Amino acid sequence: METIVQTLSQDHSRCDQLFAKAEESVAKTDWKRANTDFANFRAAMERHFTMEEEVLFPTIEKRAGQRIGPIRVMRMEHQQMREVFVEMEESVTQQDSDEYLGLSETLLMLMQQHNGKEEHMLYPLSDRVLQHDAPSVIKEMQQKGDQL
Partner 1 sequence: MNATLLSLEQTPPLSVPIRFFLTAPLFGILASILLFYDGPELFNNRWGMHTLALTHLLTLGFITMVMFGAMLQLLAILAASPVPHPVLVSNVLHISLTLGTLSLAAGFLNGYNWLMQSAVILLGFSFLGFISVVGYCLIRIKDSNPIFTAMSLALSALAVTAILGIGLGMLFGFKISLPFPHILTDLHLTWGLIGWIVLLLIGVAYQVVPMFQITPAYPTRLTRWLVPLIFLSLLLWTVFYVLALFNKVPILFPRILMGLIGLGLSSFAVATLTIQKRRLRKLPDITLNYWRVGMLSLLLCVILWLANIDSIFLIILFIGGFVLPVIQGMLYKIIPFLVWLHLQNQQGNNPMKRIKVPNMKKIIPDKQARYQFWLYMLAFGLLIGALLAPSYLNSVASITLMLSFLFLAYNIYSAVWLYWRVSREIAAIV
Enumerate binding residues for partner 1 (CB under 8 A): 16-17, 19-20, 23-24, 27, 64, 66, 68-70, 72-73, 76, 80, 83, 87, 98-99, 101-103, 105-106, 108-110, 112-113, 116-117, 120-122, 124-125
Minimum CB distance to partner 1 smaller for 62 or for 139: 62
For residue 96, the one-letter residue type is: D
Minimum CB distance to partner 1 smaller for 64 or for 143: 64
Minimum CB distance to partner 1 smaller for 19 or for 57: 19
Integer Cα distance of 10 and 37 in angstroms? 19
Integer Cα distance of 124 and 92 in angstroms? 37
Integer Cα distance of 66 and 62 in angstroms? 7
**Minimum distance from CB of 106 to partner 1 (Å)?**
4
Minimum CB distance to partner 1 smaller for 16 or for 140: 16
- DSSP annotation string for 81-105: HHHHHHHHHHHHHTT-HHHHHHHHH
**Minimum distance from CB of 143 to partner 1 (Å)?**
28
Which residues touch 72 (CB under 8 Å, ≥6 apart)?
A: none
**Minimum distance from CB of 6 to partner 1 (Å)?**
14
